């Protein structure tokens, strides 16, 4: 195996890494969604629904455990223009003049199981 992308695909999809991350990471979906989050969030005429969709795709690429950790770490703020606003189980991941994209924790009873991205 000599192709860099195939090596990353193998590594991120391997059983030990999938178990550690609690999800088999899809590298191409990860790359495409992060690029889209960055570009769509900083577009001259941003479209909140497309930004929310890119966040959903990113979450699907890395899984519920990792998206929660990424949002908790604030590392995601490097991808988007400055944004503020958060609570115990939500945070704004993008905000325009009249609309915003909100990440909200999805619960199964008292147990957090995922993150949802909505335009408000």
- pLDDT tens string 1-52: 788 888 988 888 889 988 888 888 888 899 999 999 999 999 999 999 999 9
Cα-flanking dihedrals φ and ψ of residue 104, to 5°? -125, 140
CB-based contact 100:48 (threshold 8 Å): yes
Is the pTM value of this prediction over 0.85? Answer: yes
Query: How many domains would you assign to the chain?
Result: 1
Q: How far apart are CA 49 and CA 119, in angstroms?
A: 6
Task: Domain of residue 92: give its range.
Answer: 4-119
Contacts of residue 96, defined as CB under 8 A and 6 or more positions apart, other chains included, come to 46, 48
- Would you state the pLDDT for residue 13? 83
């Amino acid at each position: 195996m000599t192709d860099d992308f195939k090596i990353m695909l193998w590594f991120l999809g391997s059983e030990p890494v999938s178990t550690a991350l609690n999800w088999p990471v899809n590298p191409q979906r990860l790359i495409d969604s992060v690029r889209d989050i960055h570009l769509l969030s900083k577009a001259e005429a941003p479209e909140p629904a497309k930004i929310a969709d890119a966040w959903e795709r990113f979450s699907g690429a890395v899984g519920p455990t990792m998206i929660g950790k990424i949002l908790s770490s604030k590392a995601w703020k490097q991808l988007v223009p400055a944004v503020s606003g958060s609570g115990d189980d939500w945070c704004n991941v993008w905000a325009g003049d009249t609309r915003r994209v909100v990440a909200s924790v999805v619960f199964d009873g008292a147990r957090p199981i995922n993150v949802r991205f909505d335009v408000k």
